[in-house]
Structure 1
Amino acid sequence: MAYYDFKKKPALTTKEGEKDVLYPSIVFNGTINTKQLLKQLVARTGYKPGVVEGTLMELVDLVGEYIGQGYRVEVGEFGYFSGKIKSRLVKDKKDLRSPSIQFNGVNFLASKTFKKKATGKLERAQKLFFQASSQLDDEELKRRLLEHVNRYGFITRTTYTELTGRLKNKALEDLKRFAKEGIICKVGRGNQMLFVKNQEDSQTEQNI
């Protein structure tokens, strides 16, 4: 489930005399970092972690090299990557020399296939996120927790805080308590700590 909220259109972009205009903007559930993504790829493909990570690193280097050589690079069903350049503004192109024109980032154009895959159900965040965390009962906390775990396979304390509004210590208490109840399982320690779905529950669901 993805969530959205409404934001006001900046005054500089509105016409004179126009009333305030709202537009929808996605509210992020959190950030899936590279390490977490690699873990999921390993689980799905069965390849060794080093092979997956090494391939990804080489792909990034290779795409960067081709972009630096002026190519537009297609990466599977992701889409196309190309370079951006910048310079100072001039009235005559003769006023610019090559050394003053530099690369300035990367453009990304998603493919039609990737756009279709990057969709999901939407719900307005105001119904959930604007509630004080103290107003959320255990059932609602568990619902948000399991919805995320079922979709991504794991959850971190930071993401749980973003989903529920619980402060750091309270969020960690919740997750450890849910782990004791057998709803989720704790994996790792310290900054590497993750919580995954209870494997026994997963097997039970598959047998039903």
Structure 2
Amino acid sequence: MSIHYDLYETPDIQQTGEQQPLHPRVVFKGTINQDEFLDRVHKFTGISRSLLAGAMQSFQNELRDLLANGWIVELGDIGYFSASLQGPPVMKKEEVHAQSIKLKNINFRPSTQFKKEVGWQMRPERGESFTRPHGKGRSEEECLTIINEHLKRYPCLTRADYCRLTGHDKQRALNELNAFIEQGILIRYGAGKQVVYAKQREE
């Protein structure tokens, strides 16, 4: 079991103009959707796949309801889920109305034990990210331009669209799209063959 990484220069926040130290970043292999995740759990546990699917849906529904009612939910040794809120900038409490308070995000904080277990299983190996100038194919800047031009004309982008527009193969396309999600540029909707990508909304 291995995880691929590439090295990037740390941003020069202080604008010193000096060379900055390198830091590792994951080169993602792709996305495991719910169907494949259930298949893997079924394969290694022998638990009925239909039972697993029903349990996952039940977990999702209960987690949704508890978060919506203000609870922090601990999911075994995996970690904790909680909701955060946003509202208009005001100076006095009297200026805030309940209707103006909305969900900002669903937060996840992994447990210390879960982080340790992931670290124990991890075997880092040097890989290559498409965001660096080595290798054949289009650069990150070219890919972003292609994405922006496409999303000006259409509401979303599929993996097949991206392959056709960039000339990159399926695996590279998935890696690149996932990298753009990690950077906060794109957001993914749907699952399995119904996955589409759109521009991340600015809050």
Sort the TM-score into its range (normalised by shorter chain): 0.5 to 0.7
Superimposed CA distance per residue, residues 84-137 of structure 1 (whole angstroms, 9 cap, x where no aligned partner): 11112223333222211111220101011210122211122249x95559xxxx
User: What SS is found at the alignment partner of 2:30?
Assistant: coil
CA 1:124–1:106: 2 relative to 1, 3 Å: same
User: What SS is found at the alignment partner of 2:125?
Assistant: strand
The aligned residue for residue 39 of structure 1 is: 39
2-side partners of 1:89 and 1:97: how far apart? 12
Percentage identity across paired residues of the two chains = 27
The aligned residue for residue 14 of structure 2 is: 15
Larger radius of gyration: 1
User: What SS is found at the alignment partner of 2:32?
Assistant: coil
Q: Does 1:123 align with 2:122?
A: no
2-side partners of 1:43 and 1:81: how far apart? 27
Map of 1:45-124 to 2, 5 A cutoff?
A: 45-119=45-119, 120-124=122-126
Counterpart amino acid of 2:96? L
Unmatched 5+ residue regions in structure 1?
Answer: 134-157, 169-190, 192-208
The aligned residue for residue 177 of structure 2 is: none
The two structures have a TM-score, normalised by structure 1, of: 0.58
2-side partners of 1:64 and 1:88: how far apart? 24
Asked if 1 retains the 8 angstrom alpha-carbon contact of 2:85 and 2:105, the reply is: yes
User: What SS is found at the alignment partner of 1:42?
Assistant: helix
Asked if 1 retains the 8 angstrom alpha-carbon contact of 2:27 and 2:128, the reply is: no
Greater RCO structure (CA 8 Å; 6+ sep): 2
The aligned residue for residue 182 of structure 2 is: none
The aligned residue for residue 169 of structure 2 is: 167
Structural RMSD (CA): 2.9
The aligned residue for residue 187 of structure 1 is: none
CA 1:103–1:16: 2 relative to 1, 3 Å: same
Superimposed CA distance per residue, residues 137-180 of structure 1 (whole angstroms, 9 cap, x where no aligned partner): xxxxxxxxxxxxxxxxxxxxx9xx9xxx9835xxxxxxxxxxxx
Superimposed CA distance per residue, residues 167-208 of structure 1 (whole angstroms, 9 cap, x where no aligned partner): 35xxxxxxxxxxxxxxxxxxxxxx7xxxxxxxxxxxxxxxxx
The aligned residue for residue 146 of structure 2 is: none
Asked if 1 retains the 8 angstrom alpha-carbon contact of 2:86 and 2:102, the reply is: yes
2-side partners of 1:44 and 1:126: how far apart? 31
The aligned residue for residue 6 of structure 2 is: 5
Structure with more of its chain in helix, by fraction = 1
User: What SS is found at the alignment partner of 1:57?
Assistant: helix
Counterpart amino acid of 1:76? G
